[in-house]
Protein backbone atom coordinates (compact mmCIF):
# COMPACT_ATOMS: atom_id res chain seq x y z
CA UNK A 1 0.00 0.00 0.00
CA UNK A 2 1.43 3.36 -0.94
CA UNK A 3 1.73 6.31 1.41
CA UNK A 4 -0.55 9.24 0.62
CA UNK A 5 1.15 12.61 0.77
CA UNK A 6 0.87 16.20 -0.40
CA UNK A 7 3.98 18.01 -1.58
CA UNK A 8 4.29 21.76 -2.05
CA UNK A 9 7.67 23.48 -2.52
CA UNK A 10 9.52 22.72 0.75
CA UNK A 11 6.58 21.12 2.57
CA UNK A 12 5.48 17.51 2.76
CA UNK A 13 2.24 16.50 4.47
CA UNK A 14 1.78 12.84 5.47
CA UNK A 15 -1.12 11.75 7.70
CA UNK A 16 -1.83 15.38 8.65
CA UNK A 17 1.78 15.80 9.83
CA UNK A 18 3.55 18.65 8.03
CA UNK A 19 7.30 18.50 7.55
CA UNK A 20 8.97 21.74 6.48
CA UNK A 21 12.40 21.27 4.92
CA UNK A 22 15.13 23.89 4.54
CA UNK A 23 14.86 23.68 0.74
CA UNK A 24 12.31 22.76 -1.91
CA UNK A 25 11.56 19.13 -2.62
CA UNK A 26 12.81 17.81 -5.96
CA UNK A 27 11.57 14.21 -5.80
CA UNK A 28 9.51 11.97 -3.55
CA UNK A 29 9.31 8.23 -4.12
CA UNK A 30 7.54 5.58 -2.08
CA UNK A 31 9.43 2.33 -1.61
CA UNK A 32 8.41 -0.30 0.93
CA UNK A 33 6.33 2.15 3.01
CA UNK A 34 9.10 4.73 3.25
CA UNK A 35 8.96 8.02 1.38
CA UNK A 36 12.40 8.92 0.07
CA UNK A 37 12.68 12.70 -0.28
CA UNK A 38 15.39 14.45 -2.30
CA UNK A 39 15.73 18.17 -1.68
CA UNK A 40 16.66 20.60 -4.44
CA UNK A 41 19.75 22.53 -3.32
CA UNK A 42 20.59 25.85 -5.03
CA UNK A 43 24.11 26.15 -6.49
CA UNK A 44 25.21 28.86 -4.08
CA UNK A 45 24.20 26.91 -0.94
CA UNK A 46 26.37 24.43 0.94
CA UNK A 47 23.93 21.75 2.11
CA UNK A 48 24.95 18.09 1.99
CA UNK A 49 23.11 14.84 2.76
CA UNK A 50 19.91 16.16 1.19
CA UNK A 51 17.97 12.87 1.21
CA UNK A 52 15.50 11.90 3.92
CA UNK A 53 13.36 8.88 4.78
CA UNK A 54 9.83 9.57 6.00
CA UNK A 55 7.60 6.86 7.51
CA UNK A 56 3.85 6.34 6.97
CA UNK A 57 3.10 8.48 10.05
CA UNK A 58 4.89 11.50 8.61
CA UNK A 59 7.99 11.26 10.82
CA UNK A 60 11.55 11.74 9.58
CA UNK A 61 13.15 8.35 10.28
CA UNK A 62 16.58 9.09 8.82
CA UNK A 63 18.80 11.46 6.90
CA UNK A 64 21.18 9.87 4.42
CA UNK A 65 24.55 8.85 5.78
CA UNK A 66 27.36 11.21 4.85
CA UNK A 67 29.30 9.90 1.87
CA UNK A 68 32.55 10.86 3.60
CA UNK A 69 31.74 8.37 6.38
CA UNK A 70 31.97 5.55 3.84
CA UNK A 71 34.15 6.72 0.93
CA UNK A 72 37.09 9.13 0.83
CA UNK A 73 35.77 11.89 -1.45
CA UNK A 74 37.58 15.16 -1.91
CA UNK A 75 34.59 17.15 -3.06
CA UNK A 76 31.28 15.98 -1.65
CA UNK A 77 28.30 17.56 -3.35
CA UNK A 78 24.54 17.55 -2.74
CA UNK A 79 22.65 14.79 -4.49
CA UNK A 80 20.93 15.73 -7.75
CA UNK A 81 19.01 12.62 -8.74
CA UNK A 82 17.03 9.81 -7.15
CA UNK A 83 16.41 6.54 -9.00
CA UNK A 84 14.78 3.19 -8.24
CA UNK A 85 15.59 -0.09 -9.97
CA UNK A 86 13.49 -2.89 -8.50
CA UNK A 87 14.13 -2.64 -4.76
CA UNK A 88 17.41 -0.76 -5.21
CA UNK A 89 17.44 2.97 -4.49
CA UNK A 90 20.23 5.12 -5.93
CA UNK A 91 21.19 8.76 -5.51
CA UNK A 92 23.74 10.56 -7.66
CA UNK A 93 25.57 13.86 -7.60
CA UNK A 94 26.53 16.38 -10.28
CA UNK A 95 29.77 14.49 -11.05
CA UNK A 96 27.84 11.29 -11.84
CA UNK A 97 28.89 9.50 -8.68
CA UNK A 98 26.09 7.09 -7.88
CA UNK A 99 25.43 5.63 -4.46
CA UNK A 100 23.27 2.66 -3.50
CA UNK A 101 21.10 3.58 -0.54
CA UNK A 102 19.46 1.34 2.06
CA UNK A 103 15.90 2.76 2.13
CA UNK A 104 15.22 1.42 5.62
CA UNK A 105 17.93 3.44 7.38
CA UNK A 106 19.67 5.82 4.94
CA UNK A 107 23.00 4.01 4.96
CA UNK A 108 25.16 4.13 1.84
CA UNK A 109 25.98 0.61 0.69
CA UNK A 110 28.10 1.05 -2.43
CA UNK A 111 29.30 3.51 -5.05
CA UNK A 112 30.05 3.67 -8.76
CA UNK A 113 30.24 6.29 -11.51
CA UNK A 114 27.56 6.75 -14.17
CA UNK A 115 28.15 8.52 -17.41
Amino acid 6: pLDDT: 96
Over 80: is that where the pLDDT of 89 sits? yes
Amino acid 115: pLDDT: 67
Q: How far apart are CA 109 and CA 77, in angstroms?
A: 18
Rounded to two decimals, the pTM is 0.93
Residues composing the chain:
115
Q: How confident is the model at residue 8 (pLDDT cuts 50, 70, 90)?
A: very high
Q: Which residues of 4-37 are buried (b: 16+ CB within 10 A; e: fewer)?
A: ebeeeeeebebeeeebebeeebbbbebbeebbbb
Q: How far apart are CA 56 and CA 93, in angstroms?
A: 27
Q: How far apart are CA 96 and CA 111, in angstroms?
A: 10
Digit-coded pLDDT (tens) for 33-69: 999 999 999 988 889 999 999 999 999 999 999 998 9
More confident residue, 74 or 12: 12
Amino acid 75: pLDDT: 84
Amino acid sequence: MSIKFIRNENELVVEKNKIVFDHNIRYVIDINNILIVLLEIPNNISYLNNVFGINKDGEIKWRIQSVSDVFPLKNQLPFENLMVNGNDVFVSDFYGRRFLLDPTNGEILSSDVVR
